[in-house]
Amino acid sequence: MSPYTLAQMNRLSGKKRFSVVSTFAGGGGSSIGYKLAGGEVLLANEISKVASKTYSKNHPDTQVITDNIKNVSLTSLDLGEVDILDGSPPCITFSIAKATKREFVEENTTETLVLDYVRLARKMEPKICVIENVQQFQSAPVFEQSLNWLRTSGYKVNYKVLNSIDYGVPQQRKRLFVIGVRNDIADHIGITSEVQILDLFPEKTDERSTVRDALQGVEVSDVEREFLLTHMRRSSHYEVLKAIPKNPPKKTRMSMLNKDWHSDFSLDRASWEMPCPTITSLGQMVGQGGIAHPDEDRLFTIKELGRLMGVPDDYCLSGTYNEKAWTIGNMVPPVMMSAIAKSLYEKVIKQTRKKKEINYISAKVDHGSRETSNRWKGEVVQESDLDQIVHVTQDTVITRPSGIPIAWIITNAFPDDSMRDILYRITDSSVMRANCAGRIDHIEMKRKGLIHEVDYKLRTPNSYYPRMKNGRWNKIAKGNEINSVMIGAKRGRFTGKIKISKPELWSSLQGLTVQVEKAFKKAIPKVYKKQRTFAELAIEPQYRQGMITTLSANRYSSDETTAMSAHSDGKDVEYTTMSCHRDGEYEGAYLAFPRWGIGIDLPDNSVCIADSKSLHCVTPIRGTGKRYTTVCYTDLSVATIPPLGKPEDFIGRLKSDDAETFVPDNQQSPEEVSVT
């Protein structure tokens, strides 16, 4: 490891290859490493005023929040999509040095700070999460809890213990690193299991640095040297240090020379020809023992400690000697962090860079999952309820404010209008799609001659049970009538058997499913491959076209179905596709995602790929034109091949020999209905 300066660090950081937010940033060890790898640190958070002052002095272009991580608010920060969220939660609770003795009250509270990091990650949704701690952290109960929180927040996670000497640092320093990759990013680069996360860690280097290598040419202040010599001479450790031979072949302590030696403090003499033992936050304070110089009866100077940790030669530390030593002892070795950052850049970030030929548009707000569901589920969303409308004219990716994709739109996905001509001939309607057909209006029902609690009773605000001729309530709920029809493979709710609904239409739309799959493959090829593989392994060929098992054909116009209420779909395998075909002039009919306040105006013959488990809807249409869409998906319930699928058998809470008696004559058979 060669000495370097802040100017050299800043030149490398000027490449701005990736962005970082650093929490528990300390004096900036991790941030130096990210900058050496070409990263830009947008924001740092550190509660210690001494460490924060050191950070600000050396990283003036980075905003520093000196406060508890619990108080970090993202609403006032315009960070955009963050590549890496870094965090080194305090490790006092888990360290060997403090395993049997805790001197400060706050030491009993540090172990839960990692959960505050995860809470911030949930809000920020960075591409990659990096957590650093002592290796003993993995035995703490909160360790598994934090990993599981990351997993449920949408990350694939794994961890590994690294030793800084394997990356050219002249210091033995074993640290545990956790890497979490956001699921959509993992999908994009082909990571399908958490075992593969281990491949993201850097390879060891052949370079080995010793104390002699590190301290060559270092400037040592005569004043500081005398200060350290004087403190040692006055300490109770002095006679012990004098008894340890100078320039030992390896690190040496008194217990290695005298087996009967017992002491409650640790004092080692470093060797010129070996890496330095681990520098700790408390160990290098005067009066604490620590690591002594190979040839002199003193601790290392601050400049020497900086070289042994790997910070720039002109790095300026704040405070007293002990405060400076504490700041350095808490650092992550920058050169080791640089190796990790370079590996993550090459293997993850670089592979997910935006393509020039695609338009990327970010939603401006996130109203929250629970809040959105409480407000909009089952409701019709008006155009005025949205924060922005995107009129798509080229291949486009719509993302959350954090950068996670909401939808991909592929334009000109169909070579001609032949599919629209087929869809134009479909005039069917359905009362079986209650979840997306809007609220049941009792006044409108009364106009139809149906009285609430006499002729029908509500199942949900969007569905009702009609009364049958025998006076009993039908056990299959209905919704408002909409111009929508299910086509393709469906599993019967009572029989459990797979049946092709509308077989002639299903066959005639094969050209559509082929083009939809091509668009899916173009947009997110690795996700497409995974979803297609599932279909081939779990679903019988006669029940699918490629990977598409089922589609709903929907028609919107001012005098028919005008909108579709906010809903989510639970049976689809990951991503669902929607093809859009326009006829005549109209406005509105935007595919909307109310959580992010965004509506998408899909062009003619386009295909949109999105996660249909997110609440979505279609806003009201205006004008004389018509909009035809097909929602094509892979239905999990159609999978019958073991071990991924379930056999065709009776299913559902209503399965019984007389299940058919619950179906009135004028209603679709159970095999054809879809009730959410």
pLDDT digits (tens, 9 = 90+) for 493-542: 778 899 999 999 999 999 999 999 999 999 999 899 999 999 999 999 99
pLDDT at 165 over 80: yes
Q: Which of 264-273, 358-367, 470-479, 603-612 has the lowest mean pLDDT?
A: 264-273
pLDDT score at 109: 57
CA 293, CA 278: separation in Å to the nearest integer?
A: 14
pLDDT at 568 over 60: yes
Edge to edge, the sheet with strand 388-391 lists 388-391, 598-601, 591-593, 616-618, 564-567
Q: Which of 109-118, 305-314, 520-529, 573-582 has the lowest mean pLDDT?
A: 109-118
pLDDT at 586 over 90: yes
pLDDT score at 289: 81
pLDDT score at 452: 96
pLDDT score at 93: 56
Give the model's confidence band at 673: pLDDT under 50 very low, under 70 low, under 90 confident, else very high.
very low
List, as one string, the DSSP characters of 302-328. Answer: HHHHHHHHT--TTPPPPSSHHHHHHHH
Tell whether pTM > 0.95.
Answer: no
pLDDT score at 110: 66
pLDDT score at 35: 98
Q: Which of 87-101, 133-147, 656-670 has the lowest mean pLDDT?
A: 656-670
pLDDT digits (tens, 9 = 90+) for 4-41: 999 999 999 999 999 999 999 999 999 999 999 999 99
Residues in Cβ contact with 674 at an 8 Å cutoff, skipping those fewer than 6 apart: 432, 433, 486, 490
pLDDT score at 32: 98
Give the model's confidence band at 91: pLDDT under 50 very low, under 70 low, under 90 confident, else very high.
low
pLDDT digits (tens, 9 = 90+) for 217-251: 999 999 999 999 999 999 988 999 999 999 999 99
pLDDT digits (tens, 9 = 90+) for 347-376: 999 999 888 899 999 999 999 999 999 999
pLDDT at 46 over 90: yes
Cα dihedral sign for 672, 508, 607, 536?
positive
Q: What is the mean pLDDT of residues 449-476?
A: 95
CA 626, CA 607: separation in Å to the nearest integer?
A: 17
Number of H helices, E strands in the chain: 19, 28
Cis peptide before 643 (omega within 30 of 0): yes
Q: Catalogue all structural domains in the chain, each as residue range(s) with its CATH number.
A: 6-211+332-352 (3.40.50.150), 221-300 (no CATH), 365-392+421-429+483-655 (3.60.130.30)
